[in-house]
Amino acid sequence: MISETLATGLDRYRIGAKVKALRLQKKLGLVELGSHTGLSPAMLSKIERGKLFPTLPTLLRIALVFGVGLEHFFIDGASRPAVTVVRKAERLRLPDRPGEEPAYFFESLDFPVTDRKMQAFYAEFPVRATFSTPHRHDGAELIFVLKGQLAVDVEGEATTLDAGDAMYLDSAVPHRYRGQGRSICTALVVVAP
């Protein structure tokens, strides 16, 4: 429980309202957002209604789903940066599915940038991992394989990409990934709404 002074100070940022606006803009339900963040729909509902203030790690999980930086929740649009550098040591590495054997790990390459026109990720696919869970989202996706081999399944049709290969896909179509071969696969994944 936080003090009334802290609650009043946090209220002015309207964090819950900003989370809800981002969720509605992406046309996500609370359950769907929960599956992307590993947070319960009940907790997300409390955050959106201002009944619970998220910790910074919790807020970062939400921010990564929407491709915004933490500052999105604390500053107004006029003072947001137009240019941002993300150092390798600053990136946060997350599994595709918390609590289960991951099909891949990803790092946001542009997480501090707010109101992005695209989202870029560095993805690493472990050897002998299973396919990721099929997913879909608005927009388009470009995958560029940096190292190894990657199988990309789009609506049940798998294509193998080698280092240097690229694939563009309509990301509204169900798709999933799996590293192939005897070495780790790495790729650059860019998503545009």
pLDDT mean for each 10 residues of the chain (193 residues): 75 87 88 90 92 90 87 68 79 84 90 78 92 90 97 95 97 94 95 88
Distances from the Cα of 151 to the Cαs of 98, 107, 109, 154, 161, in angstroms? Answer: 22, 19, 22, 10, 6
Instruction: Count the domains in the chain.
Output: 2
Q: Is the pTM of this model over 0.75?
A: no
Question: Which residue in 157, 190, 160 sits closest to 174, CA to CA?
Answer: 157
Domain-terminating residue out of 40, 59, 79? 79
Classify residue 117 by burial, with Cβ atoms within 10 Å: 0-12, 13-18, 19+: exposed
CATH of the domain at 73: 1.10.260.40
Q: Are 73 and 50 in contact (CB under 8 A)?
A: no
**Whole-angstrom distance, CA of residue 103 vs CA of residue 113:** 26
Does one domain contain both 72 and 134? Answer: no
Does one domain contain both 182 and 101? Answer: yes
Does one domain contain both 72 and 146? Answer: no
The residue to which tokens 């240097």 are assigned? 164
Does one domain contain both 179 and 99? Answer: yes
Instruction: Return the pLDDT at 114.
Output: 64
Does one domain contain both 44 and 95? Answer: no
Instruction: Return the pLDDT at 113.
Output: 72
Does one domain contain both 105 and 163? Answer: yes
Token pair in block for residue 38: 């590993």
Instruction: Return the pLDDT at 4.
Output: 79
Domain-terminating residue out of 23, 45, 79? 79
Domain containing residue 188: 88-192
Q: Checking phi first, is residue 25 left (phi over 0); if not, alpha (psi -120 to 50) or beta? A: alpha
Does one domain contain both 60 and 138? Answer: no
Does one domain contain both 60 and 113? Answer: no
Helix H or strand E segment including 159 = strand 157-162
Token pair in block for residue 49: 């209604």
Domain-terminating residue out of 50, 79, 108? 79
